[in-house]
Amino acid sequence: MEERVLQRAQAWLDGNYDDKTKAKVKELMETNPSELTESFYKNMEFGTGGLRGIMGVGTNRMNKYTVGMATQGLANYLKRCYPGQPEIKVAIAYDCRNNSACFAQITAHVLAANGLKAYLFEALRPTPELSFTVRHLGCQSGVVITASHNPKEYNGYKAYWNDGAQVTAPHDKNIIAEVEKITDPSQVKFEGHDENIQRIGKDMDEQYLSKVLSLELSPEAVKARSRLRIVYTPLHGTGVTLIPEALKRKGFTNIIRVPEQDVSDGNFPTVQSPNPEEPTALKMAIDKAITAGAAIVMASDPDADRVGLAIRDPEGQFVLLNGNQTNALLTYYILRRWQEAGKLTGKEYIIKTIVTSDLMRRIADRYGVECYNVYTGFKHIAEVIRDNEGSKTFIAGGEESFGYNVGEFVRDKDAVTTCCTIAEMTAWANEQGKTLFDLLLDIYIEFGYFKETLISITKKGKDGLAQIEEMMKRFRSAPLQTIDGAKVVRIYDYSTLETLDVASGRRSKIDLREPSNVLQYETDDQTLVSLRPSGTEPKIKFYFSVAAELKTKDNYLNVATEIEAKFKRIAKELMIDD
C-alpha cells in the first residue's frame, strides 16, 4: 500500500472527523486495503459533470466532508469573484439519491455560514429547474446534488455559474484550487447564519413551467391529439415532480404512469440501472405501453435532464431510439416548424457535440441554420449560447447521450422541455398521418441514413485510469491507416487541436477553446470512429458513426443490417469487440 494513502487515512483518524467516519476508516485499514487505496489515493476532481463518485469515507469518496470542503472552496471563490457584491446568492437543488437531501442541507449551511444567501429547494427537483432558477433569481452560482444516471452507489455535486450553466474553465480549476487549500474539516464553516437559507419550491415551479409551455409550435395538433396515449416514467427520480404536470398543462390528457417507478428511491429497486440509454430501464414502461396501446414511451433519468424515447416500428413493436435518432427528430421538427412559421431570419443556430451524428449538421444546412460543434458536456453548449447571447438565437442543441435542450432559459439538458416537445412532435406527425418512425425514415431518405453505436470499456480504479491512458497513447502513436477497408483520410486530435489530412500531410487548427483528450478517425466512406475517456465514469468510449444511402423505406432493414455488420467488423479490427 502506498505510504501516501496510509498518511491520508491516518490524517482522518487523527483529524476533526466524527466517530462513525473514523471507525469506518479504521475498518478499511484493517480489513480492506484495496478499498482504502481507492478511497484515499487522490482527491475528487471536477470533470465534465462536476464532482462525482462513490459514496463512502475518504478523500476520493462522496461524503459530508468532501461536500463541505467543496462548498467551502466554492464560497471562498465566490467571495473572491464578487468582492463588492452586496449579497452573493446560490441556488441549491437535489435528486432522489441516497444522501442527496443531506448533502444539499450541508451545502446550504456551509454557504449560509459564510455569509452567502442560499436558496434551497424544499424537496427534490429536476436539474434543469436549478439552471433556470440561477438565472431567474439572479444568482451568482448554483449547486445540484446528483450523480445523474450512475449506479446507486454514486452521488455527485454539480456547480453552476451565474448564467445557469455548469462551471467551465477557469472557474472549475479555480474552485478546485480553493478546495485544495482546505486540509481539515475545522477550516469548513458547517454551522451558523441559518437566516441566510431561504426555502423555494412551488412558486419557482410555476415560473419554470410557464417558460417550458411558451415553446409550443403546433398547438392545433396538440388540441386535435389531446388523447394521444403516452407512457412516462421518472425511473424513481425527480421527473415525477414536474413532467406529468407539464404534459397535462400542455394539453395531453392521457398520460399513463408506471406507479412502481413514480416512487422516488435512491436504491432504484425496479431497474438494474436508472439509465434511460439502457433498454432494460424502460421495460416496465414498455410493457405498460403494450397493454395500454400507447404510441410512445418516455423515461427521464434520476435528475431529469436526459430522456429515453421508445417508439413503435412499422410492425408495431417498441424500439428504443438512440440519442442521435431522438436528436435528429427534434432538430428536424423544430427547424421545419420554425421555417413554416416564418421565424427563421438567418441568425439562428443549433449546437451538437463532436461525437453527435453529423446528420444534425445536414438538417441545419437544409434550413439555413448554423451548426456549432463542441466537446461532450452540456456546459460547452452553454458556452456557445453565452457567447452569442443578444446577437444570434439558439434554437436547440443536444448530445448523443440522450441530453437535449430547446430555447435559452435553461443552460443545461432539460428532460421537462424535451418530453413536452416530443409529445407535441408526435401529435404533429400523427396529424400528417405518420408515426415518429415514419418521420425518422423520411429524414433518412432526405438527408442520408446515419447510424451510430457506442462501445464503453470500463477500467475501474487507479490501475484502470492508467490502462485508459495507455490505450489512448497507442492509438495516437500508431494511427489507423484503414477502417474496415476504407482509407483514413483525416485524423482529428483534440489534445493538440489539430486536424491531419492524411494524403497531403497538411495540418490545420480545430476551432475550439481548449484541448481535450479525444481522438477521431474519418474515412473516405464517411465512417467516423471517435475515442474519448469519460469525464464522469471510469470508462473509455468508442463511438462509431456510419453514413449510407436509403432510397426507399422498404430497404431500411437491409441497410440497417449491413451497418450493424460493419460495426462488428470495426470493433473486431480495433480489438474492442469483447
Average pLDDT score over residue span 335-348? 98
Confidence of residue 28 (pLDDT cuts 50, 70, 90): very high
Helix runs in 484-539, H state only: none
State yes or no: pLDDT of 144 exceeds 60.
yes
State yes or no: pLDDT of 30 exceeds 60.
yes
pLDDT in tens, 157-185: 999 999 999 998 888 888 888 888 887 88
Q: 146 vs 54, 158, 225, 315, 417, CA distance in Å? A: 12, 7, 35, 39, 19
Residues 93 and 186 in one domain: yes
Confidence of residue 347 (pLDDT cuts 50, 70, 90): very high
State yes or no: pLDDT of 578 exceeds 70.
no
> For residue 344, is it within any domain?
yes
State yes or no: pLDDT of 48 exceeds 60.
no
pLDDT in tens, 359-395: 999 999 999 999 999 998 899 999 999 999 999 999 9
Report how far residue 136's alpha carbon sits from residue 143's, in angstroms, rounded to the nearest whole number: 15
**Parallel/antiparallel/unpaired status of strands 307-312 and 318-320:** antiparallel
Residues 302 and 378 in one domain: yes
> For residue 578, is it within any domain?
no
Q: What is the CATH number of the domain that holds 465?
A: 3.30.310
Residues 123 and 8 in one domain: no
Q: Taking Cα atoms as reference points, which of 163, 124, 97 lies closest to residue 382?
A: 163
pLDDT at position 487, please?
Answer: 98
Residues 25 and 52 in one domain: no
Domain-ending residue, one of 144, 171, 200: 200
pLDDT at position 405, please?
Answer: 97
Under DSSP, is residue 237 helix (H, G, I), strand (E, B) or coil? Answer: coil
Q: Taking Cα atoms as reference points, which of 146, 53, 46 lies closest to residue 95?
A: 146
**Parallel/antiparallel/unpaired status of strands 482-483 and 486-493:** antiparallel
**Pick from 37-46, 47-56, 281-290: least confident:** 47-56
Around Cβ 161, how many Cβ atoms within 10 Å? 23
Residues 283 and 245 in one domain: yes
Residues 231 and 322 in one domain: yes
Domain-ending residue, one of 159, 180, 200: 200
Under DSSP, is residue 420 helix (H, G, I), strand (E, B) or coil? Answer: helix
pLDDT in tens, 265-280: 999 999 999 999 999 9
Report how far residue 81's alpha carbon sits from residue 64's, in angstroms, rounded to the nearest whole number: 25
Domain-ending residue, one of 152, 179, 200: 200
pLDDT in tens, 78-111: 999 999 899 999 999 999 999 999 999 999 999 9
Task: Give Dmax over CA atoms of the chain in angstroms.
Answer: 71
Query: For 110, which DSSP code?
Result: H
Report how far residue 355's alpha carbon sits from residue 492's, in angstroms, rounded to the nearest whole number: 12
Q: What is the CATH number of the domain that holds 335?
A: 3.40.120.10
State yes or no: pLDDT of 131 exceeds 90.
yes
Confidence of residue 577 (pLDDT cuts 50, 70, 90): low
Average pLDDT score over residue span 330-357? 97
Residues 267 and 413 in one domain: yes
Under DSSP, is residue 361 helix (H, G, I), strand (E, B) or coil? Answer: helix
Q: Mind telling me the catalytic residues? A: 148
> For residue 69, is it within any domain?
yes
Cell of 2: 502506498
Please report, rounded to a whole number, the percentage of residues in the chain having pLDDT higher than 70. Answer: 98
Mean residue pLDDT across the chain: 95
Report how far residue 449's alpha carbon sits from residue 37's, in angstroms, rounded to the nearest whole number: 48
Contacts with 501 (C-beta within 8 Å, 6 or more apart), sequence order: 489, 490, 507, 508
Torsions phi, psi for 449 (to 5 deg): -90, 105
Residues 469 and 437 in one domain: no
pLDDT at position 71, please?
Answer: 94
pLDDT at position 535, please?
Answer: 66
Average pLDDT score over residue span 508-522? 95
Cell of 403: 441530453
The residues pairing with 353 across neighbouring beta strands, listed in sequence order, are 374
Which domain covers residue 66, as residue numbers?
A: 48-200
**Pick from 387-391, 491-495, 538-542: least confident:** 538-542
**HEC states along 277-346?**
CCHHHHHHHHHHHHHHCCCEEEEECCCCCEEEEEEECCCCCEEECCHHHHHHHHHHHHHHHHHHCCCCCC
